[in-house]
Amino acid sequence: MVTDKFNRPVRDLRISVTDRCNLRCTYCMPAEIYGERYQFLPKTDLLTFEEITRITRIIVGLGAVKVRLTGGEPLVRKNLHKLVQMLSSVDGLHDLTLTTNGYLLSENIQLLKKAGLQRVTISLDTLNDTIFRRMNGRNFGTSKVLEGINSAEKAGFNPLKINAVVQRGVNDHTIVELARHFKERGHIVRFIEYMDVGTRNAWKMDEVVSANEIVKTISAEMPLEPVDPNYAGEVALRYRYKDGGGEIGVIASVTRPFCGDCTRIRLSPEGSIYTCLFASAGNDLRAPLREGASDDDLEKIICHLWQVRSDRYSEERSSLAEPRREKVEMYHIGG
């Protein structure tokens, strides 16, 4: 097992399979910047499924036990189920999951299930159709996402996790409705504080709805109580309904940073390693990979990157002279 300067091991690998997305959510890929002429990565720059699997096998060998496929929107990458099938055969990998906006889920879920996908997380910031259309930047309604959720339920992915970014003055007044709806369905909503990921989403601290406020708002309608984490380094703070009707999670990267337990390493679509969601730059693995590096060579590169890691941006945010420094965009390396 390899550890960093704060004795944090590698346990979670986030793989972004594409930088493309079919939505233009205002907090991630605002349409005025990522328009029709925006140049995304050419296909030849993307890691192949075989290259992704090779790197995954090496990182799992260093201690990772969980892999999450992200994007962009991962399902816009063709034949993603083939990658799932390849990854599901990696020895030592115990948890293989997907985060998706759900728009293409209903037509892919059976293939993904058959290929070995174990869990699904679906992003849905609100059930209010008008607000959702405005937030996703494409004027897409909620029906297609709800259809994807229904298809995942029928395929046996229960409970699902539903991710919702909460932004003050945008969708914060709809969080109780969202919580109640999925409480009745037996799924877990994870409310996410609006974060300063990247530099193009015009993030402002006063638009952050704190975890404490989120929990207080929901608990006033459906009483909650805190629950211990399922495992060390779990991202979401857990709260269960006092009536026994399930739980919610709150991801409080801004107001209650969890850098001290961070065990996540990220692989970008073009093969760069990032050791923090808020990193300014990654470290290229594609070049040595395609120039004939052995598994041992690649392992040494990854080990070194992790061993010198000292990232704790969320803990340092308030003391930074320039918190809005250039950072990698969220759509590029996933959440």
1 within some domain: no
6 within some domain: no
- Taking a C-beta distance cutoff of 8 angstroms, is the pair 210, 193 a contact? yes
- Taking a C-beta distance cutoff of 8 angstroms, is the pair 43, 19 a contact? no
Q: Which three-class secondary structure state does DSSP give residue 199?
A: coil
The count of structural domains within the chain is 1
What is the per-residue pLDDT across 53-88, written as a single tens digit (0 to 9) for each? Answer: 999 999 999 999 999 999 999 999 999 999 999 999
Residue 156's DSSP bridge partners are none
67 within some domain: yes
- Taking a C-beta distance cutoff of 8 angstroms, is the pair 190, 236 a contact? yes
4 within some domain: no
CATH of the domain at 120: 3.20.20.70
What is the per-residue pLDDT across 300-325, written as a single tens digit (0 to 9) for each? Answer: 999 999 999 988 766 666 555 454 55
5 within some domain: no
Among 123-137, 179-193, 298-312, 320-334, which is the least confidently predicted range? 320-334
322 within some domain: yes
Q: Which three-class secondary structure state does DSSP give residue 327?
A: coil
Q: What are phi and psi of 196, to 5 degrees?
A: -90, 50
What CA dihedral angle connects 273, 276, 277 and 281, to 10 degrees?
-60
7 within some domain: no
Q: 274: domain range?
A: 12-333
197 within some domain: yes
Whole-prediction pTM: 0.92
- Give the pLDDT score at 321: 46
Residue in 70, 180, 71, 205 with CA at minimum distance from that of residue 126: 180
